[in-house]
Structure 1
Amino acid sequence: MKKIILISAITSLILFQDSFANTILEDVIVTTATKTEKNIQGVSASVIVVTQKDIERIAASTLKDVFEKIPSINAQFGRFPHPSSASKASISIRGAGANGTLILIDGKRLSGETEGPYELNRIPASMIERIEIVKGSMSTLYGSDAIGGVINIITKKIETNSSTIDIKYGQGEEGKAKEKNINFTTRGVTNEFRYKLFGSIIDTTSYSKNKSYSQVATNPSTGAILVGNSQNGVNGSSKVTYIDEGTVNNIGGRVEKDLNDTLTLGLDVNYLDENRKGTYLGNAKFSGGGLIQNTPVNSEDNNKRIDISSDLKYEISNNLSGQTKVYRSYYKKRNETTPINFTGPVNKKFSANVTIDTLESNLTYLLNDSNIITTGLEYRKETRDSSAINIDPSSSEFVTKVVKYKSLFIQDEMAITDSLNATMGTRYDNISNADNKVTFQAGLVQKLTDKTNLRVNYAQGYRAPDIAELYVVSPSYKDGKRFGSDVIFGPKTKAYDLKPEQSQTFEIALSNKLENLFSEIVLFNTKIDDKIELASYGTGNAKYYTSENLEKVDIKGLELNIAYNITENSDLNFNLTYLNTEDKTTKKELLFTPDLSASLGLSYQIIPNLITNLSIRYIGEQYANSQNTTKADDYSLIDIGINYDINNTLAIYGGIDNIFDKQLEENIGVNVGTFFYTGVRIKF
């Protein structure tokens, strides 16, 4: 019934679009889709742009707040190989999976956990100028991990002397999940330097639910039940954390200097310090011997990350320019997991050091009035030191794995006629732990009329297996254990030759831009060979999960985007995504891929300085367990917010998320119910 209502609403909007006429929608320049500045109407790939104005309108504090309201970008819970996965989510674009989404900050990769389960709550919205989301395979420009798309978080530019302070407080009903955010940004221009500095404190209290448990004592090597162990069969009820108690501190800055008319040097330094803790149901060792499964544990993370980057922009001639970046992203994770019911050793196995060292150099050449050639090279070295990949589950000693990437790419943006342009590119990647890869991309944009564009795009992608998929040894994962494909341990008696994923994305889109209305409909099909997913084997204490390739996966979909200026004082945005996913071998749908997701946003300016916004989000049914037995129910969330600019310097805002207190099923992410927030923003 809900699908029928949504489709009827879409039809009504399309039927009436010819009567809309008032305001011209702004042209948007994007850089992520081609690595050159290009009007979004001339890009053959699908791009969503989230502006600073959008972020302020929804009073977002972190990336999580932003992405919760964008259709076709879905959270995937419970994949992280640790008991705390109940409170961790990664994001997936168009059903391609959490590892198929590449997150960049100013075009640079971040070191961190595999699948990025913490990143949504780490990156403060205060530092963001805009977010560019490119959907579909993007490996031709960005290499591995861009199967589903790329999310590029572009930080605020240094253009004028300005500063912003933003203070926000929120909580759920009965004081649950309190959230305090303080952030600032300052930017300045002097005769010799341009600079910016930002900082933020994100502090949250936990949100938990009581769950019953029944402990099982086992031999950690054989899985045999230790019937005589005093902890075997102990039952009880314990809190399980779904939102961590945590504090995340960010500070960073950038300095730029024009060395001469053709050379600009930049330096970035960012530092993150994070503490998180919660109570979960997991496994722990018993001092008297044995591994106690499904027992309450406390888990605490102390994590730090430092990113250092230098870049040089240069103009060699009027037609030739380039940029070279050298950067290091270093991440230090320290986790301690401790049993609650009994005395046992502290588990430090899920600790790690991760370093990404990268050199990138790009050249852009205006060959003639019709061709822009962009070419570049990249060298990247990823080093992971972790005890989670130590084959001995009782050892906290780090094991080191290193992967090196060497890449070359070339792209040609061609103006074939006044109304037809094309983009073609190819890339070669040499990978130290996988076969070398060549990827290709080609797209066309045809201007049918002054107001209507047709675009067609074909792109290839690939993703090499990550360290966790290959080597992780986790004695606690969901209702069993988790082992990497290369691991032979306990009930897993064979290694599995895990291959890189390879994808092909086809899409065709028709867009129409009237004076006050933009509408676009996109049809896409992504075919993935050897998609990496978790498979389960065994039962009871011998059950384990491991990474294997799905021979062929087919993802078909439709996206509809409408932006409409109803009047001078009101705007409407509607987005819908329909997904049809299938594992061709098992004929089953993929996990965490809702068949339908949609959002409707309405902003209304009551008086010149007072604006309200209403957001309605619908997420359809989806499978959320490896057996694909039952689907999680669909749900709708309704949020409302208000912003009042007292003057040019001071603004206050507030709102209510999930005003009808919709509770989600635990396997697709637990929310706190109705959430109230208020804040003040000072610009000077």
Structure 2
Amino acid sequence: MRRKEEAGKKFFCRGWRHRGRRLAGGLVVLGLLITAPVRAGESLEPVAAADSAVTAADPLPATTMGSVIVTADRFPGDEISTPRFVTVISAEELVETGGNNLVDALKRAGGFAYKAFAPLGISHGGMNSKVAIRGVYDGELILLNGAPLQGSAGHAYDLNTIPLDQIERIEILKGAASTLYGADAMTGVINIITRKTAATTAYRVAFEAGNEDYHNHSLSATLPGVNLGLNYQHLGDQREISRSFTKGYRYDLDASDKFAVNFNANPLPDIYFDYLGSYYESGFRKLYDNPGKAYEGTDQEHYKHFADLRYETDVLKAKLYGTFEEMRRDKYTGNAPEDRNRNFNSGISCDYRLPLTWATWLIGGEYTYFGADYNNKYGYHYRNDYALFSQVSKEFFERLTLTAGLRQQFVDGEPGTDDYDRLLPSFGADLKLHERFHLFANFGRAFRSPTFNQQYYESTFMVGNPNLGPEEGWTYEAGLKWDHRLLRLRLAAFYMDYEDKIEVDRRHGYPQTYFNAGNYQSAGIEWELTGSPFAALAGGWNRLTVYCNGYWADPEADDAEGAEYQAGPKFQTTVGLKFLGDRLTLDLSSQSLAGRERELDSYTTVNFYGKLRLGPGWLSLAVDNIFDEEVQVSGDLSDNASNRYLYYDLDGPLVKVGYELVF
């Protein structure tokens, strides 16, 4: 049964407001800690992850990650030495979450709030699933191999269309990243790295099926210099994915089919080509509680394409990229014309790392064309984004590395619209107290242009505001990174202070519109903790790890009348226990989202994933939401809401059995 109208009582108090000065002051403290002399002429090299106290007779358990190489600064570097909070999730770790697609796996990995408008993150008429960083929605920038994936109409990214077997790893950079990654990186960057090619030949076949008429099947081939993959996913009809308590109707979801393909090639040294494409079809039925009122039905199709051509060496990166997507919606129970909503991006970027001995100096530039054409809403609109940026890192005293960056960002709109140009600085510091213990701090300016939907959309539900201005502000962060034999810890305190954050004005009911909030802040802490409490034991116990990832924040904004309100969820955490054996993998985890906005219920779900070596392949079993917790993925249950409504995740546990064969 779907849960009642009333949301549960929240149990996290408000606090941690206006801490920016304290976090920024941490940079001064870091400088005072350094007393060692400078070694002149020394190049900046990644910090080795090996601990001198550990010998070959004292092996490290699985929790010790060694040197984790990330591209958070656009070129490879050691994660522990970066002055930013960076998370890396490998392809294997994504699969071990038991997630049904990429957005589902990210939600389970921890550290994100999640919002959706249909099960499995399926888009409902352009209302897409999204993952929020540190309680702030719509501040995340999604990249695919470093190229922008989001459409300019509404910043939608449809990660539910990307199968897990097409991904090499995910790199997540929390905090303002506009200096290196552009105008839309307000709260962080999620960079999806596609599968690499190999010199060997291998074939993979995987089948998975479950209740709710769920299917997830894939076929892939790895040939010398080439990857090719196909994926098919199906979900049966779903009853009551949404309910309006005020207006007396519900939405049902028709059966959904998704097809995806990926192609990766390395035809020449340092030359790479990638293509990802997807197509899915579904439908929605709006059924009224009044039996005398006819239902409304809509069929939906969605095409999405991405391609890039990259040249990459140790000192130079250049790429061409482009995306195209189209959503078609046909309201077959009425006379409304078919919607054809299109987004298209294309661009070029170039990064060069100067081969200096005394510092690391990065310079680069990029240009992206953003276009959208919504035939029944506002027609064709476009804008041009281009920028020059630079970042310098220098090591002092063999302990302290300082990083400073600057970006000149230009946004040129179409004739008759506003143009923007902003100077976006950033600064970071990494203090190496030990090879495996670092302190870090950073601050940077963030900036984001309003989307075309926010400016021009026209419907009975939402009306755009052409007078919107861009969002901008500052993010401050300080924390520590610690790699120990038994423990890996990442911990950061943050403060985000924005002006003119674009929010929805709900004061007057429907149609709603957008406005620039006077102030918008979020302060709190974020953590990633992985440990091996049984590393000293034998008999397989040393293969057990525990992990806990999450955040606590206090996101607040001013409404259109200047009153303060909660703008996002305050608390998210993932806690899990994992066993990694040669023939057996087990993962039991729980995900909690609490202190939610607009009186939505807190929830905790428990998921299980396991795979066993059986014959020539692997047998897998996954159970989502074991205890049948109701999950409200979005909605508004506020007492003063003009429409009190909810969207739900799948109703009941989803049990999936699969088999994977690689030969």
Settle same-fold status: TM greater than 0.5. Answer: yes
2:264 to 254, 274, 285: 254
Judged with a 3 Å threshold, the aligned counterparts in structure 2 of structure 1 residues 88 and 110 are, in CA distance, closer, same or farther, namely closer
**How far apart, CA to CA, are the structure 1 residues paired with 2:183 and 2:586?**
41
Confirm or deny: 8 A CA contact 1:379 1:407 kept in the other structure.
Answer: yes
2:626 partner SS: coil
1:68 partner SS: helix
Matched letter for residue 122 of structure 1? T
**How far apart, CA to CA, are the structure 2 residues paired with 1:42 and 1:213?**
50
2:589 to 610, 615, 624: 615
Judged with a 3 Å threshold, the aligned counterparts in structure 2 of structure 1 residues 614 and 111 are, in CA distance, closer, same or farther, namely closer
Q: For residue 290 of structure 1, what is the aligned residue in structure 2?
A: none
1:389 to 374, 377, 384: 377
The answer as to 2:253 corresponding to 1:278 is no
Q: For residue 251 of structure 2, what is the aligned residue in structure 1?
A: 240
Q: For residue 566 of structure 2, what is the aligned residue in structure 1?
A: 590
1:346 partner SS: coil
Q: Which runs of 5 or more structure 1 residues have no equivalent in the other structure? A: 5-19, 217-236, 283-293, 316-320, 391-398, 487-496, 625-630
Q: For residue 650 of structure 1, what is the aligned residue in structure 2?
A: 617
Q: Encode CA deviations 1:107-148: one digit per residue, 9 max, x unaligned.
A: 122254744556131011011111111111111111122111
Matched letter for residue 256 of structure 1? N
Confirm or deny: 8 A CA contact 1:301 1:333 kept in the other structure.
Answer: yes
Q: For residue 215 of structure 2, what is the aligned residue in structure 1?
A: 180
The two structures have a TM-score, normalised by structure 1, of 0.79
Q: Percent identity?
A: 19
Q: For residue 432 of structure 1, what is the aligned residue in structure 2?
A: 412
Q: For residue 525 of structure 2, what is the aligned residue in structure 1?
A: 558
2:239 to 190, 197, 208: 208
1:470 partner SS: helix
Confirm or deny: 8 A CA contact 1:388 1:474 kept in the other structure.
Answer: no
Confirm or deny: 8 A CA contact 2:221 2:228 kept in the other structure.
Answer: yes
Confirm or deny: 8 A CA contact 1:32 1:152 kept in the other structure.
Answer: no
Q: For residue 286 of structure 1, what is the aligned residue in structure 2?
A: none
Q: Encode CA deviations 1:239-262: one digit per residue, 9 max, x unaligned.
A: 513x55321211121222336xxx
Aligned-residue offset at 1:213:
7.8
How does 1:618-633 map onto structure 2 within 5 Å?
Answer: 618-624=592-598, 631-633=599-601
- Comparing 206-215 and 456-465, the one that deviates more: 206-215
**How far apart, CA to CA, are the structure 2 residues paired with 1:170 and 1:108?**
35
How does 1:42-441 map onto structure 2 within 5 Å?
Answer: 42-77=81-116, 84=124, 88-98=128-138, 100-110=139-149, 112=151, 114-115=153-154, 119-161=158-200, 162-171=202-211, 176=212, 178-189=213-224, 194-209=225-240, 240-241=251-252, 245-258=255-268, 264-280=270-286, 296-313=295-312, 321-339=315-333, 344-349=334-339, 351-368=340-357, 370-390=358-378, 399-433=379-413, 434-441=419-426
1:670 to 627, 631, 648: 648
Confirm or deny: 8 A CA contact 2:216 2:232 kept in the other structure.
Answer: yes
Matched letter for residue 235 of structure 2? T
**How far apart, CA to CA, are the structure 1 residues paired with 2:250 and 2:371?**
36
**How far apart, CA to CA, are the structure 2 residues paired with 1:583 and 1:347?**
38
Confirm or deny: 8 A CA contact 1:83 1:281 kept in the other structure.
Answer: no
Matched letter for residue 102 of structure 2? L
Q: For residue 493 of structure 1, what is the aligned residue in structure 2?
A: none
1:147 partner SS: coil
2:517 partner SS: strand
Judged with a 3 Å threshold, the aligned counterparts in structure 2 of structure 1 residues 546 and 28 are, in CA distance, closer, same or farther, namely farther
**How far apart, CA to CA, are the structure 1 residues paired with 2:282 and 2:457?**
22
Matched letter for residue 372 of structure 2? R
- Comparing 517-526 and 269-278, the one that deviates more: 269-278
Q: For residue 489 of structure 2, what is the aligned residue in structure 1?
A: 519
2:366 partner SS: strand
Aligned-residue offset at 1:166:
2.0
Q: For residue 627 of structure 1, what is the aligned residue in structure 2?
A: none
1:652 partner SS: strand
The answer as to 2:509 corresponding to 1:509 is no
Judged with a 3 Å threshold, the aligned counterparts in structure 2 of structure 1 residues 246 and 313 are, in CA distance, closer, same or farther, namely same
**How far apart, CA to CA, are the structure 2 residues paired with 1:27 and 1:311?**
28
Aligned-residue offset at 1:208:
1.7
Judged with a 3 Å threshold, the aligned counterparts in structure 2 of structure 1 residues 311 and 673 are, in CA distance, closer, same or farther, namely same
Confirm or deny: 8 A CA contact 1:280 1:296 kept in the other structure.
Answer: yes
1:534 to 494, 499, 504: 504
Confirm or deny: 8 A CA contact 1:210 1:238 kept in the other structure.
Answer: no
Higher share in strand: 1
Q: Encode CA deviations 1:157-196: one digit per residue, 9 max, x unaligned.
A: 113423322221122xxxx3x321112332222xxxx111
Judged with a 3 Å threshold, the aligned counterparts in structure 2 of structure 1 residues 203 and 436 are, in CA distance, closer, same or farther, namely same
Confirm or deny: 8 A CA contact 1:111 1:355 kept in the other structure.
Answer: no
Aligned-residue offset at 1:307:
2.4
Aligned-residue offset at 1:75:
1.7
Judged with a 3 Å threshold, the aligned counterparts in structure 2 of structure 1 residues 544 and 422 are, in CA distance, closer, same or farther, namely same
**How far apart, CA to CA, are the structure 1 residues paired with 2:493 and 2:246?**
49
Judged with a 3 Å threshold, the aligned counterparts in structure 2 of structure 1 residues 388 and 148 are, in CA distance, closer, same or farther, namely farther
Q: For residue 16 of structure 2, what is the aligned residue in structure 1?
A: none
Matched letter for residue 570 of structure 2? D
Confirm or deny: 8 A CA contact 2:547 2:577 kept in the other structure.
Answer: yes
1:133 partner SS: strand
Matched letter for residue 635 of structure 1? Y
Confirm or deny: 8 A CA contact 2:430 2:441 kept in the other structure.
Answer: yes
Judged with a 3 Å threshold, the aligned counterparts in structure 2 of structure 1 residues 611 and 314 are, in CA distance, closer, same or farther, namely closer
Aligned residue-pair number: 576
Matched letter for residue 357 of structure 1? S
2:197 partner SS: coil
Aligned-residue offset at 1:570:
0.3
Q: For residue 453 of structure 1, what is the aligned residue in structure 2?
A: 438
Confirm or deny: 8 A CA contact 1:21 1:517 kept in the other structure.
Answer: no
2:604 to 633, 636, 645: 636
2:80 partner SS: helix
Confirm or deny: 8 A CA contact 2:524 2:552 kept in the other structure.
Answer: yes
Q: Encode CA deviations 1:311-368: one digit per residue, 9 max, x unaligned.
A: 22357xxxxx3122112212222111233xxxx303424x222221101111111211
Q: Encode CA deviations 1:623-674: one digit per residue, 9 max, x unaligned.
A: 13xxxxxx22221111122210236x41111021111111124626412221
Matched letter for residue 302 of structure 2? N
Q: Which runs of 5 or more structure 2 residues have no equivalent in the other structure? A: 1-8, 13-57, 414-418, 536-541, 636-645
**How far apart, CA to CA, are the structure 1 residues paired with 2:259 and 2:217?**
10
**How far apart, CA to CA, are the structure 1 residues paired with 2:67 and 2:140?**
23
Q: For residue 33 of structure 1, what is the aligned residue in structure 2?
A: 72
Aligned-residue offset at 1:40:
0.8
Judged with a 3 Å threshold, the aligned counterparts in structure 2 of structure 1 residues 244 and 66 are, in CA distance, closer, same or farther, namely farther
**How far apart, CA to CA, are the structure 2 residues paired with 1:584 and 1:308?**
40
**How far apart, CA to CA, are the structure 2 residues paired with 1:322 and 1:556?**
37
**How far apart, CA to CA, are the structure 2 residues paired with 1:250 and 1:78?**
21
Aligned-residue offset at 1:513:
1.9
